[in-house]
Amino acid sequence: MSISASDIAKLRAQTGAGMMDCKNAMEESNGDFEKAIDWLRTRGVAKAAKRSGKIAAEGKIFTYLHGAGKIGVMIELNSETDFVAKNDAFLTLGNDITMHIAAMNPKYLSREEVSAEDMTREKEIYRAQLTAEGKPEAMIEKILEGKMGKYYSEVCLLEQAFIKDEDKTIEQLLTAASGSIGEKISLRRFARFEVGEGIEKKVTDFVAEVNEQLGA
């Protein structure tokens, strides 16, 4: 059966579980909310959800340098207590996320942060593609929802598949950590820097780079 975004949002509001966890729960339970809640509980997500209202104001700033300092990442990973911020599992999680960001280069933390400009541009591009393919207007909006979901999974950190375990998103990774550690663990913000990013290079610079790579 088809699971709507409103169904997922409703389950998320009821349980406090992550969006992808709620989506999987609804699909596994064929849209039955009670079964979906049970599905979340059996996987430890409900335990983490109980802590969703807690305040996580402690934590640690993690940094990571890659490629001889060509790429740098900084994140703020929060916990409820300073004690947990020194926990090995917490430290490993923070290091894993910084390396993930260096590799996957997310643009936003979550879909709520996607700018209206980017969202409108992507929808217009997809709509034009679908129209050119001759898709009926009645189908386009439904297809657009799926395409935007894929777009969010590419540019939003929390929805990206974790590089060390592609069966989990970063949001699911955080939810699992909250459940196993026993405290609310949240990722507040991140920054990724790459040498030369945003600087317009001359064509001659690009030619020189290509020649160097080709050994010319």
Residues in the chain: 216
Task: Answer whether residue 126 is part of any domain.
Answer: yes
Region at 203 (left for phi over 0; alpha for psi -120 to 50; beta for the rest): alpha
Query: Domain range holding 17?
Result: 1-50
Task: Answer whether residue 159 is part of any domain.
Answer: no
**Tell me, what CATH number does 41's domain have?**
1.10.8.10
pLDDT score, position 1:
62
Q: How far apart are CA 143 and CA 129, in angstroms?
A: 11
Annotate the chain with three-state secondary structure.
CCCCHHHHHHHHHHHCCCHHHHHHHHHHCCCCHHHHHHHHHHCCHHHHHCCCCCCCCEEEEEEEEECCCCEEEEEEEEECCCCHHHCHHHHHHHHHHHHHHHHHCCCECCHHHCCHHHHHHHHHHHHHHHHHCCCCHHHHHHHHHHHHHHHHHHHEHHHCEECCEEEEEHHHHHHHHHHHHCCCCEEEEEEEEECCCCCCCCHHHHHHHHHHHHCC
pLDDT score, position 103:
96
| Alpha carbon distance, N-terminus to C-terminus of the chain | 57
pLDDT score, position 118:
92
**Tell me, what CATH number does 145's domain have?**
1.10.286
Give the count of domains, the chain.
2
- For the chain, 216 residues long, the average pLDDT of each consecutive 10-residue run is 77 72 87 83 63 72 94 95 90 97 96 91 91 86 88 95 94 88 90 86 60 65
Task: Answer whether residue 59 is part of any domain.
Answer: no
